Amino acid sequence: QSCRGGGTGRCLPASISEKDHNIPSGAHWSPFDFDALGPSVPTFGNSWNNGLVLNKKAMDLDVQDQVDLIQEYESLVAWMDREFQHSVTGDATLRSREQIRENITNYTDTILAEKNVLDALNQSQCSNVQCNLLFNTSNARLSGAVNATGSIVTTSDGTEVALWAFDSIDIDEHVNITLTGQRAMSLVSRSSVRINTTIIAIPGTLGGFPGGFSVARRPNERLVRVCNEGVDTRQFLDICKGKLTCCPGDQPIGELSKGIKSNNVNGPGSSSTRVYLMTIQTSAPVVNEIQSLTTSANRGQTLSGGIRLHFNGYTTPLLSHDITASDLKRKIEDSLNPAKRNQLTSFDRTDSIAGIGIVDVTRETLGTSGGYRWNITFASAVLGKDSARLTATNYLVSKGAKVDIETVRHGNSIEGKFALQFLGHDTRFMRHDVSASELEEILLQDIPSLSTADVLRSDPTGNCNDGHCANGSDRSGGYTWTLTITTHVGNVSPFSPTSMTFDSEGEIANMTALNQLIGCVDSQCPTIQIEMGHSKSHNSEMRSIFGKKPFSLAFGGTGGGHGGKGGSGFRDLPPGKAYGDKRISNLYGGSGGGVGVKQPFQLGVFKDPRGRGGSGGGAIEIVATSDIIIGSNAVISCEGEPGANGYMSAGGGGSGGTILLAAGASVQLDGKISVTGGAGGRKKANIPKKAKSFGGHGGGGAGGRMALFSQSVIIGEISTISLDGGHCSAPDTATQNCTGEDGTLFVESELDAELTVDHKIGAEGTRRSLYLRPRMISPPFNPKKRLASTESGPEYDLGTSVRPSRVSFYYRVDSPSKLGWDATFELRESRWSYLSSKDSIDYTALVGIVIGKEIRHGVNYIGVPFDDEHIKQFKSIKPSPAQANGWTKVDIRFDWKDRTHDVYVDDVRLVKMSPFRGESIRAISLNNYFEGGDVWFDEIYIGEDTTMGFHCPIVLSNGTLQPMDRPLERGWKMEDLGDTSSLRPMRRHESHVSKREMYQREEFVVPMDGQGENDFTSNVKFRSSDGDRIHDKGEFLAGSLLRLSNTQSSAKREYSNSKSEMSGVKFGMHPDTFIWYGEHDHFVDPRQVSGAVVACSTQDFVTWRNEGAMLHYTNLTDMVHGSNGPLHVEKPKVLYNNATQKYVMWM
């Protein structure tokens, strides 16, 4: 609700005057610079619903209140109408019946007016229409439950945005919102914005760029989406196979012949690059080589026998001395080639050497001895001066028989070298037959503005110079190089798909050659032809794609970049780059992922587009002069689209878009806002060779950008902020690095503190932490302006007052040595906004911990969030600086009954039983001040203390130990000791011996002397009323001490960084680690004992660290009597067993 008092005039919050018209920080536009749209509906309480208000719950309450108000008025009028003749009113001004009648008339008019309000209420919002809203940013029209036409505005760089301005915005969960159109979107309110429904920008709309496939856009389709809404790239082939209407805006490479202009249509964060298709051909005049084969013998002799011919490792069978020309041709072609003549064009030459090819043969008779001369013309093979020649083995029979082979005419073959000129650079000179891989390397090294170079050369194996390879050199030894090269030069990249330069095209660069080839015939010399396109390529697949001019294409399955880099694809193209800035100075949408092909020609292999890249997320800005509330049911999504799956390759994911929330007062987030990148497409085939040559898994798109601007940012516990980059399906993500980077979150407070979630580090093995960068504004401050601010760090409201027995957190700093460095962790009884409103207060914080050049501790102090003067009076509890780039743990343990607390740093108690005043804790405040470095907080815990009240030894100033609260040292109970030792009764046994006289004499025999035989023996040496010992409280020395040498002890965090304290010897001990073990009883319930074997460690017997519970009593069992307990432990001991290399505890 807004604009009370009939809805006239502007709707201004109390903090902004109409003349100010100031723009909330971070916003691009002021709501007051545009006409307010939407209906103006009176409602209960003389207030008005102005603007985009669709809140059924609130409307139902207003209707009921209005009905009750009308009934009250009607009841009053009925009473006056019934009683006015004889009743006496209590109002001195209504003494006459005429006055009462007049008053009835007035109330009747009021009732009529209120009924009109009720009728308007009942007819408002979605009472007579479906509760749907359609925002079309291409034509700036809003239709559905509210109809209005917005404005087309531009950001500083010319990005077009469709803006709708309202007095207020309140959209509840029952409203269905659809977004369409190509421009980014902005909703601005003169008062507040409350959104509790789903707002999803379909990828490729609202400024999001389409995924990779097209090379251009039609000039008249700047405001038209490429693909129809509802087309899902993941299932693109299943849905759209053979249907040209799925993506009517596609402009594939084949459309270049129609004269369209090509540029980067996939966004500045896409892998789009300028692609040049070129064909280089060398040629020279063709001259067939002729070699003569001559046989002869001495005069008067007659030749017989035969010969064998050899060429390049091949040998003919024995040829008759008088073989005919036709037979010789057949024998040569069948035996001096790797295959028969009819198989040469289809023969696999991978492991074969080129032969002689096709020849023409003539024969003439020489002399009278039967000699002949065969002229052999090489009709297909390419033979230069250094090429292989025919040789012969003489098997002729005759006196003086010999065989001669001479070259009648040398064939012409290209030699020499050449260089290329492109994009203002010259390559080095290269051999006339430079290989494809060598040319690729030279292009990339000598022309630095090239990104990639892929080259195919005719006769790639160098063994096709017989003239019978489909991809061999020509007759003069000329080669064809098919080039696919990419560069960012000339690749025009608009930052918005609706940019006025969306169809502008960069200059076209031409490639020329420096010719130093050799192989002239008469006045005709070798030539080098460079042609744009692949129409003259020796490779049929390359010829399938039309590209007579350069074009821009995002390919390689790379993920789109935006807030970070996109994930890598399956070829050597760089991933999509980040663009824009954290503050979102311009409303940029996300960029599209690369289409899933390794080479552009592969787009022409299939009829339907395969592996289409995912589209980028859109851009949404929401501005409020007062508050922005994103409810728990709200979803605002500008996510990137996943890349399309494919059989042998897949598309890259689109990057996330932009969400900007700028409020003059506060931003309260309880819902979900997301600018996550789209996942990379998945390659289905598991055919390594084919998959490697064609493509692979697509890379994920990067997360987008999100910014929150306000005086106070409140992020609720159930809220979700998603910035993640899209994942990918590659089995080895470490090698491909195909997951998109996370996007950015920028939170600006009035004091310029930067609060973000660090996705790289976290305490205790977690991956994320709260990162707080200090403000960079030096004093003096404006107290009135800063008083209600919490901008030196976030404040978390627990929602209710609590009395936790333990509060703990971890922190990490980057450079504790900085001058004046300090950050604080404070526990408050109330939120700062409440405390600062009080005229007089004794303290603002119950307990505070200062992290800086030293660790300090304060109790019941007045702390101002924008000023760190108060912390200079705190007591230092650890003079050493905080550990840089490592996590430090802080524990605060409360005794609310006695109002005391202890403070532990890395489990070492530094503050003991410090008193405090206060009833409870309501808020936690984290602050980082203007001179400070960066600080991270993580794992903040508020709850019960599970350490069972155990404390490690305390060394007093005189070097003695403070008495510890140790448990009773018990022994065996009386009933467990058994009986005492006993003897059997003595008996005298008489015999004839004992009756002899000598044994009757008492000086020799004393009857019944000594003791009886043992009946029961007890080894218990001491007995008391308690058992085998008197039960008494133990002492520290009753524990067990284990010494770990430097080589045995694990890497422990040092208690001090002071060299004097850790210099080597203290109390005669080296800096080994000593661990003390002892039992600890903890009585929670008098009927039940609990506790544990606990441990403390030290290196100097002064500072003790609590290592926690080693064995809890709940894990004890009675294996003797089977008792259920309660059980406890006495005198635990720990030793190292070298045999098992384990530590053993017994008790």
SS3 content of the chain, % helix, strand, coil (to 5): 15, 30, 55
pLDDT at site 1004 = 67
- The C-alpha atoms of residue 180 and residue 231 are separated, in whole angstroms, by 14
Query: Maximum CA pair distance of the chain?
Result: 171
Angle between helices 97-123 and 56-83 (to 10 degrees): 160
- The C-alpha atoms of residue 685 and residue 1135 are separated, in whole angstroms, by 57
- The C-alpha atoms of residue 886 and residue 328 are separated, in whole angstroms, by 87
**Taking a C-beta distance cutoff of 8 angstroms, is the pair 207, 655 a contact?**
no
- The C-alpha atoms of residue 696 and residue 573 are separated, in whole angstroms, by 13
**Taking a C-beta distance cutoff of 8 angstroms, is the pair 756, 745 a contact?**
yes
Using pLDDT thresholds of 50, 70 and 90, give the confidence band for residue 785: very low
Three-state DSSP state, 77: helix
Three-state DSSP state, 1110: strand
Within 8 A by CB and 6+ apart from 833, the residues are 712, 788, 790
Enumerate helices (H) and strands (E) in the chain, giving the number of each. Answer: 11, 62
CB atoms within 10 A of CB 1012: 12
- The C-alpha atoms of residue 632 and residue 795 are separated, in whole angstroms, by 20
- The C-alpha atoms of residue 530 and residue 47 are separated, in whole angstroms, by 77
Long-range contacts of 962-965 (CB under 8 A, 24+ apart): 963/1035, 964/1035, 964/1036
- The C-alpha atoms of residue 442 and residue 422 are separated, in whole angstroms, by 12
Amino acid letter for position 860: N
**Taking a C-beta distance cutoff of 8 angstroms, is the pair 162, 137 a contact?**
yes
pLDDT at site 308 = 96
- The C-alpha atoms of residue 620 and residue 600 are separated, in whole angstroms, by 34
- The C-alpha atoms of residue 380 and residue 358 are separated, in whole angstroms, by 5
**Taking a C-beta distance cutoff of 8 angstroms, is the pair 373, 361 a contact?**
no
Lowest mean pLDDT segment, chosen from 31-35, 161-165, 761-765: 761-765
What is the percent of the chain where pLDDT is above 70? Answer: 84
pLDDT at site 203 = 94
How many angstroms separate the Cα of 1122 from the Cα of each of 657, 978, 1089, 1132? Answer: 65, 19, 17, 21
pLDDT at site 95 = 46
* Bond from prior residue into 39 cis (ω within 30 degrees of 0): no
Q: What is the DSSP string of 940-985?
A: EEEE---STT-----B-TTSPBPPP-PPEE----HHHH-PPPEEPP
Mean pLDDT of 498-504: 81
Using pLDDT thresholds of 50, 70 and 90, give the confidence band for residue 5: very low
Q: What is the per-residue pLDDT across 684-700, written as a single tens digit (0 to 9) for each?
A: 877 655 445 567 889 99
Pairing of strands 754-758, 769-773: antiparallel
Mean pLDDT of 535-553: 85
Using pLDDT thresholds of 50, 70 and 90, give the confidence band for residue 240: low
Q: Which residues partner with 364 through β-bridges?
A: 373
Query: Of 82-91, 436-445, 989-998, where does the model show the most confidence?
Result: 436-445
At residue 727, φ and ψ (nearest 5 deg) are -85, 175
Q: Is the pLDDT of residue 879 over 60?
A: yes
- The C-alpha atoms of residue 969 and residue 1024 are separated, in whole angstroms, by 14
At residue 257, φ and ψ (nearest 5 deg) are -65, -15
